[in-house]
Structure formats: C-alpha cells, structure tokens
Amino acid sequence: MKALSVSSVTFRYEDSPRLALDQFSLTIAEGRMHALLGPNGAGKSTLMRIITGIQRGYSGSVLVFGHKMPDRSALLSLGYAPQAISLYPTLTARENLRFFGAMANLSDEELAHRSKEVLDRTGLNDRADEPVSQYSGGMQRRLNLAVAILHEPKMLLLDEPTVGVDPQSRNHIYETLLSLHASGMTILLSSHIMEEAQRLCSNVTLMDEGKVIFDGQMSEIDNLERFFLEKTGRGLRDG
Amino acid sequence: MTAKRQLKELIKKEILIRVRDKQTILLLFLMPIILIFFMTLALKGVYIDKISERQIRVVIENPSRLPKANLLEEKISSHKLIARVHQPPGADAEQIFEQTGAQVLVMIPPGFDAGDMPVELYFDPVLDTGYKVAIRSLITGLTVEVVMGIDNLDSVVANLIVEKSRPNRDIPSPLQQTVPAYAIFAMFFIAIPMSIGFIKEKNDGTLQRLFTYPVNANLVALGKITPYYMINLVQFFLMLLIGVFMAPSMVGLSFQLGQHPWHLFPVTLVVAAATTGYGVLVASLARTPEQSSTMAATGAILMGVLGGIMVPHFVMPAVMKKLAMVSPMYWAHQAYLDVFLRNAAFEQILPKLIVLTGFAVVCFYLAGRRVRWI
C-alpha cells in the first residue's frame, strides 16, 4: 500500500510572486524511509504542512494511507515533528507529552505507558520533569521527536530533525529513527544535509524551487551534491 | 468524552503557562492592588468634603468667663461639626492660623453678656467664601440660641425649612470608586498575556502542530478563552476581598457593599465576558508581541481615562460625562456602583449589562472574522 501519494500539487503563498510548489508529485511506499532533499526555500516545509493538513489552498491531491487530505480521521496515522521546536517551553517534557497525548486521544493509561516509552527511547527520562526551556537544543529536538511518535503513528514526517543539534544528540536521533523504521514505521525526512539522508534513507526525492529534480533510489546517485549542482546549477546547501 | 478531555487539557495547559509567568501575575494582580491603595489615599481629600462631614477647626477666646459667654463657648465646643483647637500662648490671630491649622478664631468679648459687644469672627485668609458663609451661619445660630435663651434653634425652625435632598447616588466613597475601577482596569489588561500567548504559539509552531491532531478549532478557541475568563473572575473577587478586609484598616476608610451584594455575581460574569472579548479581539488583530502589548495597553488606558476609572465620573464636566459612555469601562464601573452605592434592583443594572454583553459579542464576532490560526 502507498503510505503517501502527492499528485501534481501546486501552491503559492499569498502575496508571493513565485510558486512554492509547482506540479509536485511524490509517492512513498509503506515501510520506507524516504529523504526529501533540497536547499533552503525549495518547498520542503511547505510540502510537509500540506501533507499534514495545516496548509490549505493548494491544487492537486494528497492521499495518506488512501485518505484524501485534509481528513481528520487520517491525522492520527501521521506524526509530525516540525522544523521549529514546537513545544511549550515553560511546561516540562512530561507535561508537553501529556498535553499532546490528550490531543491524540490517548487514554490516561496509554499516555502513562507511551510517555515512559518515548522518554526512554529519546534518552530524556532523567530530565522529564524539568521545563523544556532548560533543555539544550539537542534535547529539545529529541523531545520534539518524542511528541511526534507518542501516539504510534504509521507515518512520521520530520522537517529538518537535526538542524542546530550537537553530534551526540544527532546520533541519538538517528538511532531512534532507524529503530522506528525497523519496527515498520514509514518515515519522510526532509533535510539539506546529504550525509544524513544517505545514512538513513533508501529513497530520495531532490527538489528545488517547488519542483522535483530527481525521485528514486539513493543508490542511483554517487554524489548527491554534484548531482544536484549539475541539475540546478546550485549547491544543496545554498539557500 | 474526547472533546471534553481535550478541552480540559487545553485549559490546564493555558493555566499552567500563565501561572508560571511571573510578570503576568504581577501585572494582573499586583498592579490593581497598588493602584487601589495609592489612588484611594490620593482621592481621599476629594471625597471627604463631598460625602462626609469635615469638622471645622476653631479657636475660641473667652476672656470674660461670664455665664452667657461660657454657654456660647460650650455650645461651640460641643457641636459635632466643630473641632476645638487650643490657642498657643501669646499667639496673635495670624500666628494662630499658621501654628494650629485652625480655620476660624471666635472671639467672645467681655461685653457679650451685657449685649454691648458682638461676637467677633476671624477667618483664615485662604478659606473659601462658601465655607466662610457656612461657618458664619453655624456660629450665628449658636449665638442666637444663647442670646434668645433657646435650647435648640433647629427644633424651632424645623417646620419652616426641611431638607429634601435625595440620597447620594452619584458620589461613591473612595473605596467604592477605586476597588471596582482598578479591578476593571486590570481585567482589561488580560488582553496582553492573551494576545502575546496566541502570537507566540503561532510563531513558534505549537498552534500549527496542534492542528495536526484531530482537535476542533472551536475547541482550541474555547480552551484559550476559558482560562483567561477564569483569571478575570479571580482578579475581581480578589480585589473585592482586599477592598472589604484589608483596605479599610490601611487607608482608614470603610467600604460599603450595598444592600444587594449578590448582584456582584451576574455583573462580574458579564464584565469578565467583555474584558475577555477585548483580549480576543486584540489577539486577532495584532501580528507581533510588540503590537499586542501596545494595542492592549493603549486601548485599556484610553478606556480608563474616558470611562471614569482614573478621573472619577462625578468630577467630570458634562461633555466628558457624555463621552464616557463610549467606554465599556464606564458601563462596567457604573454597574458596580449600582450595586455598591445605589442599592439598585437587578432590573436597573440590566441595561448596563446588556451594553457590556453587546460589546463582548461585537469583539468576539470581529475576532472570529479576523483571526488567522496559522
């Protein structure tokens, strides 16, 4: 089954002269870990927001596990970790998890069990009762991920999950993602870090200026940076 | 069941965030307490003359110590409106006023008993003309009593002159003015944390994240509004408790709740709806935290100045009294004065509550049209 099917999505932000997404199409099979690579401003975050139903006003279609988005019944099959650390800084990790768990309709019992699991998984159990504002950047990113997987989604959307993160936390996040993938979760990971995509993902979509540049297996490309430069005249790290 | 639990968690989250925000707690609770105390003391002098009987400070000289002179001295000294001040030895008339704070010197000359000499009055030069007339009238009446051998002149003229003034409905006591005034003022300031909190959640992505869950936008709105409404209620009742139990002993003035204090409940419920509506409107209009605080504070101050909060309504000129009606704070304050001062029946308070409800409805409607969640 296809976990995600994005068909000819076109979107322009209000008052913007250029298209954020231009006839963009993408398909991800269930159980895959798929990288979405592109420089800053390529449209990666916009695509994530459209898939999750946050952004409306586009043309084309988005299907998540067969459900046409936006579809509230499909929302819990998705877990989303945005690029910004979207947590409540004056609440503790546990309080953040409790809040988002309630929004995901987890019962108190499920919540207690899952909170412990995700805190263990992301290595935050020891500091779960401290306010998030006291966490390092890496810890905040791990908690961002913990919230996204709390309700055991079938598909995880990660928007630049390791930006600004120390190497220790980055490795921790990689291990968590590999472990989640091994358990069958479909993961779409957006990044402009090639090494991250190559380490974690079997499939890749390269995008620039809202368009697909390449969509296929990671093994088909020897050098992502050079490939992107040849196709677009720009580096992946340009923005 | 799901929606109920989600709402409970939305409210709990908002309350936790607010309670941990010390600056907000200071703004919403400490500011009105300080304003109540200082403004009550500052306005004390304005009210004393208008609503309570200030005693006239009098020095009496009675060198002859003859019977009629002594009787007049006794009548003046014992009158409820007179506070006798003793004359410093060797002081002349001018020095008496400077040294004692007396407002009038009554000289009963040796020839008074024989009817040869009139009582002499020396007024403090800075005394208002109207005040002089009132004091002269008082001393004249007491002198007539002594000269004519009448015990109480008031009882003789009781059938000639009758006071028909209606009970005071316009001039609150200092605490009746300041307690509701600054409670209302602080309640409108809820717009600041409300709007800043909303904008921060938009900017840092938590609001967007929230909409990736199956949660209704109306529920999110209710989860944001309800905690601030509750805070408003707590604000008012805390200020009321301070006004009733603490302020009187600290400022030396009493606080009257009126004969129907239970009317405070519906009044406060409606006032809190109006203040919350204002907060929601600011939240929907502002785009940055700086805009929020500027809009909210400026709006509240303007409403307060116009509405009889900073400057009591009863001292305003007629034009300003009319203009005050554009301010929702005016209607809120007057509704509270209906309870505290006028002992009004609920039917008399209702029109003001209708105006405030209308204000709240307009605010919520405009906010609903303008708000952008993402």
DSSP code string of A179-236: HHHHTT-EEEEEES-HHHHHHH-SEEEEEETTEEEEEEEGGG-S-HHHHHHHHHSS-T
> Nearest Cβ partner of A75 from B21, B205, B214?
B214
Residue of chain A minimizing CA distance to B214:
A72
**B88 preceded by a cis bond (ω within 30 of 0):** no
Residue contact B204–A85, C-beta within 8 A: yes
Most A CBs within 10 Å, among B23, B208, B212, B219, to test the A interface: B212
CA torsion through residues B283, B287, B292, B298, sign: negative
Contacts of B2 in chain A (CB under 8 A): 105
What backbone phi and psi angles, to 5 degrees, belong to A79?
A: -125, 135
> What was the pLDDT predicted at B49?
60
A71, pLDDT greater than 70 = yes
Looking at residue B300, its amino acid is A
Residue contact B205–A84, C-beta within 8 A: yes
> To 5 degrees, how large is the angle CA A80–CA A85–CA A91?
105
Cβ–Cβ contacts within 10 Å for residue A136, how many?
Answer: 12
Residues of B in CB contact (< 8 Å) with A are: 2, 5-6, 8-9, 12-13, 16-17, 20-21, 204-206, 208-215, 374
Most A CBs within 10 Å, among B213, B219, B287, B372, to test the A interface: B213
> What was the pLDDT predicted at A21?
95
> What was the pLDDT predicted at B94?
72
Q: Are strands B56-61 and B104-107 parallel, antiparallel or unpaired?
A: parallel
Over pLDDT 70: what percentage of chain A? 98
Q: Which residue has the higher pLDDT, A77 or B372?
A: A77
> What was the pLDDT predicted at B329?
97
Q: Are A36 and A210 in contact (CB under 8 A)?
A: no
Residue contact A103–B210, C-beta within 8 A: yes
> What was the pLDDT predicted at B250?
81
Question: Nearest C-alpha of chain A: how many angstroms from B235?
Answer: 23
> What was the pLDDT predicted at B44?
75
Q: Using CA atoms, how far apart are residues B220 and B243, in angstroms rounded to an integer?
A: 36
Cα B364 to chain centroid, rounded:
29
> What was the pLDDT predicted at B46?
67
Residue contact B210–A102, C-beta within 8 A: no
DSSP reduced 3-state for B84:
strand
A235, pLDDT greater than 90 = no
Most B CBs within 10 Å, among A86, A155, A163, to test the B interface: A86
pLDDT band at A8 (very low <50, low <70, confident <90, very high): very high
Tokens of B240: 């009321």
Tell whether A138 lies on the interface with B, counting CB pairs under 8 A.
no
Residue contact A104–B213, C-beta within 8 A: yes
pLDDT band at A238 (very low <50, low <70, confident <90, very high): low
Work out the average pLDDT over A83-90: 94
pLDDT band at A75 (very low <50, low <70, confident <90, very high): very high
Q: Which residue has the higher pLDDT, A170 or B163?
A: A170
Q: Are strands A67-68 and A59-64 parallel, antiparallel or unpaired?
A: antiparallel
CA distances from A92 to A1, A99, A127, B18 (A): 38, 11, 9, 14
Q: Using CA atoms, how far apart are residues B346 and B357, in angstroms rounded to an integer?
A: 15
> Nearest Cβ partner of B209 from A86, A98, A105?
A86
Residue of chain B minimizing CA distance to A99:
B9
DSSP reduced 3-state for B315:
helix
Most B CBs within 10 Å, among A103, A130, A156, to test the B interface: A103
> Nearest Cβ partner of A102 from B5, B205, B374?
B5
Task: Enumerate the β-bridge partners of residue A7.
Answer: A61
Cβ–Cβ contacts within 10 Å for residue A87, how many?
Answer: 26
Q: Using CA atoms, how far apart are residues B194 and B175, in angstroms rounded to an integer?
A: 29
Tell whether A76 lies on the interface with B, counting CB pairs under 8 A.
yes
Residue of chain A minimizing CA distance to B219:
A103
CA distances from B109 to B92, B113, B138 (A): 16, 9, 18
> What was the pLDDT predicted at B52?
56
Tokens of B234: 């707590």
CB pairs under 8 A between A and B: 69
User: Residue ranges of chain B with pLDDT lower than 50?
Assistant: none
Q: Which of B4, B1, B17 is nearest to B222 (CA)?
A: B4
Q: Which of B338, B214, B190, B219 is nearest to B277 (CA)?
A: B190
> Nearest Cβ partner of A78 from B17, B204, B212?
B212
Is the pTM higher than 0.90?
no
Cβ–Cβ contacts within 10 Å for residue A226, how many?
Answer: 12
Q: Using CA atoms, how far apart are residues A155 and B339, in angstroms rounded to an integer?
A: 60
CA distances from B253 to B52, B184, B249, B256, B342 (A): 11, 21, 7, 10, 19
Question: Nearest C-alpha of chain A: how many angstroms from B23?
Answer: 13
Q: Which residue has the higher pLDDT, A30 or A230?
A: A30
Residue contact A103–B211, C-beta within 8 A: no
Q: What is the largest CA-CA distance in chain B?
A: 102
Tell whether A213 lies on the interface with B, counting CB pairs under 8 A.
no
Over pLDDT 90: what percentage of chain A? 77
Tokens of B171: 């001039």
Looking at residue B25, its amino acid is I
DSSP labels, B38-59 = HHHHHHHHHHHHHHS-PPEEEE
CA torsion through residues B280, B282, B284, B287, sign: negative
| Cβ-based neighbours of A192, under 8 Å, separated by 6 or more | A37, A38, A39, A40, A160, A236, A237, A239
Question: Which helix (H) or strand (E) is A167 found in, with range?
Answer: helix A167-182
Residue of chain A minimizing CA distance to B216:
A72
> Nearest Cβ partner of B208 from A73, A86, A91?
A86
DSSP labels, A39-108 = -TTSSHHHHHHHHTTS----EEEEEETTEESS-GGGGGGEEEE-SS--S-TTSBHHHHHHHHHHHTT--H
Residue contact B206–A90, C-beta within 8 A: no
Q: Using CA atoms, how far apart are residues B280 and B373, in angstroms rounded to an integer?
A: 13
Residue contact A76–B374, C-beta within 8 A: no
Question: Nearest C-alpha of chain A: how many angstroms from B212?
Answer: 6
Q: Are A132 and A89 in contact (CB under 8 A)?
A: yes
Contacts of B220 in chain A (CB under 8 A): none
Residue contact A98–B205, C-beta within 8 A: no
